[in-house]
Structures are given as structure tokens and as C-alpha cells.
Amino acid sequence: MGILLPRTTCYLPFSQTDETLHFDPGTGLPADWFNGNCGNSAHVAREKKCRFSLVLHAWLPPEALSEADAADEKLMHRGRDADWPWELENGTKVTLEDVGRGEFSHVYTAAGWHPVHCAYVWKRLHRTLVVRAGEQMKMIDAYTGSLKHMEHCVGILSGGKKHGHDNGEDSRSVVYAKFPRCAYI
């Protein structure tokens, strides 16, 4: 059976325009990527039975993550330990397993991680928006559904921005832990 599109237009319940998008003063990231369904700390997220996604670097409720998301998490990182070393701001090396616990506010890795991350987030967005006959509504998070993040990824994937930024950063990517709002679509 083919793919069925929803009969009604779906509007993501998150701020999407520069005029309405609010930013966190500490990180410069969109505010709806924090204080979401899983709180704003790894401790609270665990209490709420949320799971940390290594693709998104975000804490999400279990109903927002599928088996396909878990499989993508493994595929994205398979065999890349040497390519993507992880470290803290002070230069302390950490493992992917350490990062996967979701305890760090941010970590650094090689710039090569960034385009792969963007591709997997785009894959997740597509999978979430496609509705097949008999499927229930799906949950999407403000990070995956963010037009701002997709514009950032287009800059990376098209070579228009060095590591997605215009500020002459070094060859590392900074990766922030997020606690986005989620909604059913």
C-alpha cells in the first residue's frame, strides 16, 4: 500500500520565523529547544523516563523516538570513533558512551560529524512526517521540526558555511544537549 498524506495541513506548534523565534541568552539556540517535555536536566529527564538521542543530542519522551531512530543512532556512529573524537571544553577526552549518557551541556567533536548529523536529522524529519495507512499520530520535537536548524544544515551540506557558522571557528563542532518541546502531528 502506498503512502497516504494527512488530509489536513499540519502546522508544527513551534516558533519558525525570525520574527517570532526566541533565543536562549546563554547558548544562542532557539528557546523551544529547552525546558521541554523532559525538563531541562539529565536528572529530570531520567525521572520522566526520557531517552537521550545521540543523533539529535536531545532528551525526548519515549513516544517521540522509534525503533528506526535507535537503529539510525547506531548506523550514524558505526566505525567512526577515530573520525569523531569527543572532548569537553577543557580538552578532556570523553567516549561516545560518555556522551550518550546526556550529562554534558555541550561537547566538541570533529567537523565531519556535522553533515552526517544533518542528514540523519533530515531522515528523521521525513520519517516522522510520512503517514502510512493505519499509523497513529506521531510526535515530533522542536529541534527536528525547526526550520532554523534545517537552514543551518543546508549551509553545512551545500558548503556555504564553514561548519555551519560564519564566525571563523576552528575545525571542531560544538554540540549542545537539548531538551526540546514535543507535540503530536
In this prediction the pTM is 0.80
- 12 belongs to a structural domain: no
Distance, C-alpha 23 to centroid of its chain: 16
Contact status, residue 132 vs residue 5, Cβ threshold 8 Å: no
- 97 belongs to a structural domain: yes
Residue 163 has pLDDT above 60, yes or no: no
- 68 belongs to a structural domain: yes
* Percent of the chain with pLDDT strictly greater than 70: 74
Please tell me the distance from the alpha carbon of residue 93 to that of residue 79, in angstroms, as a whole number: 18
- 115 belongs to a structural domain: yes
Residue 134 has pLDDT above 70, yes or no: no
- 47 belongs to a structural domain: yes
State residue 13's pLDDT score: 45
- 176 belongs to a structural domain: yes
What grid cell was written down for 164? Answer: 555551519
Kindly tell me the burial class for residue 72, based on how many C-beta atoms sit within 10 Å of its own C-beta (0-12, 13-18, 19 or more): buried
Contact status, residue 153 vs residue 25, Cβ threshold 8 Å: no
Of how many residues is the chain composed?
185
Over residues 67-73, mean pLDDT: 92
Residue 16 has pLDDT above 60, yes or no: no
Pick 129 or 104 by higher pLDDT: 104
Residue 21 has pLDDT above 90, yes or no: no
What's the Rg (C-alpha) of the chain? 16
State residue 166's pLDDT score: 42
Contact status, residue 91 vs residue 77, Cβ threshold 8 Å: no
- 180 belongs to a structural domain: yes
Q: Which domain does 144 fall in, by range? A: 28-184
What H or E segment, with its residue span, contains residue 72?
Answer: helix 67-77
Residue 6 — pLDDT band, cuts 50, 70, 90? very low
Over residues 6-22, mean pLDDT: 45
Mean residue pLDDT of the chain comes to 81
Instruction: List 165's β-bridge partners, or say none.
Output: 162
**Residues with Cβ < 8 Å from 74, sequence gap 6 or more?**
none
Highest mean pLDDT among 1-15, 99-113, 138-152: 99-113
Q: Alpha helix locations (H) across 67-144?
A: 67-77, 96-100, 113-129
The total domain count for the chain is 1
Distance, C-alpha 86 to centroid of its chain: 17
CB atoms within 10 A of CB 119: 16
- 119 belongs to a structural domain: yes
